Chains A and B, each alone.
Chain A
Amino acid sequence: MDKKSFKGYLYLLPSIIIMVCFTLYPLVRAIIMSFLGDYSIINDSYNSIGFENYKALFSDPDFGKSLINTAIYVVCVVPASIILSLLFAVLINSCKKLKALFQTIYFLPYVTSVIAIGIVWRWMFNSNYGLINYVLSIFGVEPIQWLNLPEYAMPALIIFAIWKSMAFNILIFLAGLQTIPEDLYRAARIDSTPRLRVFTRITVPSLAPMIVYSSVIGMIGAFKVYNEVFSLFQGKAGPANSAMTIVYYIYDKFYNSYKYGVAAAGSVVLFLIILALTQIQLKVTGGRKK
């Protein structure tokens, strides 16, 4: 339709300048760093060029563990969070009276500082007097050592993360719901279409772009999980490193072990994983849409 021109770049210029200086340049530097053996960020020295860092990375069992943990985390948190958020967003949107109140309440988790809320969640997960075990005990479940035993560290992290990520998704979905023309619903009401069908035939397809967005962004974010681990386990990666994630591993290598090259290699691997998965995700969802 419209012929191509460079005018688009005029609109993009501000963003491009900032991104080139503060994201692309450090990114390129990190990629180069990942191929330099024994690289020091302090005086830019290195011993060799090659795949030394990648070899070190893949022979480290901790990195393997962090890959598995992160994969489990992504697979559990992203879909659960989106489904729950979708449910709550639609329910909130259909409220007449308390809509504003619910909207505010469900947004609260996004607002607070991770430090404080991590402490609160540690209290909720406490095995002796934590609220979660108390609720479970009503259903006859024995107290669970959420934060003390390696096998429960990931489940605890996942519950915390779902709680935290829902707020963002609900906000996006509620914004998306505003753009659905009222006419569609009105027509459905006249035809007395069942609620479930309205949901699957009108709401979900209209929200598709937001759902795709949330799942892509949610997945990218979930792969980069770090703050949640840090705050829930007080700066550690859970009992016996049982909740070690990729970014935790990278952070640790970079800032505590000064293995800059290995940390950079870890980032590149993470980058490639996310890149591949988002491409698949966009293909799949894009294909289904039209």
Chain B
Amino acid sequence: MKSNRKIANIIAEVLKYVILIAGSVFTILPFVWMISSSLKTPAELVQVPPALFPEVPQWLNYKSAWEAAPFARYLVNTIIVTICTTAGVLVTTVLSAFAFSRLNFPGKKTVFSLFLATLMIPGEMLIITNYETIIKLKWIDSYRAMIVPWISSAFYIYLLTRFFMQVPESLYLAAKVDKCSDFKYMIKIMVPMNKQAIFSIAILNIISSWNAFLWPLLVTNSQEMRVLSNGLVRFQTEAGSSTELIMAASCILVMPIIIIYLFLRKYIIEGVTRSGLKG
């Protein structure tokens, strides 16, 4: 009996890793291809059948891509915009999610539905009106034009509300008895207990802010205010595109995010202990 079970366990373990590794291959292959394409010559890119790796890695592609636009300046702008937007998003999201999950106020359901409804309209429809607003505010060509419209998102508020609701109500009531203010309770208990969710929101927002393309292009005019993703279009024209350079630029674009992800993961997630949940 016992040994049967052991064997079943081993089989299950092996099967688990087989599935995970197969899934990983499927997931990661496009990346491997992106990196290998960034090191190919134009001829190697269209060669039939394609080779997974270039004969001689063309590191020069990275140099050409980097030099095609003032990427160093773009990088600084991207970092500023991303940090400010993400900080703003975290503040507004935590506050709103707390209000929706713990506080009682008139019209709560209506406001929540209205928030959710804002997600249902395609953003493409909103762009021109928002652009007009930015022009009227005289914010054109400034960081705030790129930051302010994006510091609140129903998408994340809804997510964090879900997480906050998971926290047992009893904790809140106990805190009330201890005369702990709502705000203090939110900062001291809710936030630390949902670190992983907040981290997820931060990373999701960092990525969307990092990759934002059309909006920064619309609200800026000078090279000094542009962001990294605006540099990507430099390798495409109406008549064709330099795929190897697009790939090289995309790799440059993606690397910082992967580093941020790993960094945040290590320092935030690993610090989370589950003991807080036992309350």
Contacts and interface: CB of A to CB of B under 8 A. Distances in A.
Interface in B182-200: 182, 194, 196-197, 199-200
Contacts of A7: 103, 105, 182
A254 B125 contact: yes
Contact of B120 (A114, A166, A263, A274): A274
Nearest to A178: B196
A80 B3 CA distance: 36
Interface string A183-224: 100000000000100000000000001101100110010011
B77 interface: no
A119 B45 CA distance: 11
A181 interface: yes
A22 B126 contact: yes
- B contact patch SS: helix
B33 A120 contact: yes
B125 A12 contact: no
Interface in B179-230: 182, 194, 196-197, 199-200, 203-204, 207, 211, 229
B186 to A, nearest CB: 8
B207 A18 contact: no
A113 B31 contact: no
Contacts of A178: 196, 272, 274
Contacts of A124: 29-30, 33
Interface stretch (A50-58, A71-79, A97-105, A141-149): A97-105
A115 B250 contact: yes
Nearest to A102: B20
A49 interface: no
A110 interface: yes
Given A18-B152, A182-B274, A226-B124, A112 B31 contact: yes
A267 interface: yes
Contacts of A46: none
A27 B261 contact: no
B271 interface: no
A14 B254 CA distance: 31
B120 A195 contact: no
A104 to B, nearest CB: 7
Interface of B: 12, 16, 19-20, 23-24, 26-31, 33-34, 37, 48-50, 91-93, 95-96, 98-99, 103-106, 108, 111, 114-126, 128-130, 133, 148-149, 151-152, 154-155, 157-159, 162-163, 165-166, 173, 182, 194, 196-197, 199-200, 203-204, 207, 211, 229, 232, 243, 246-247, 250, 253-254, 257-258, 261-262, 265, 272, 274, 277-278
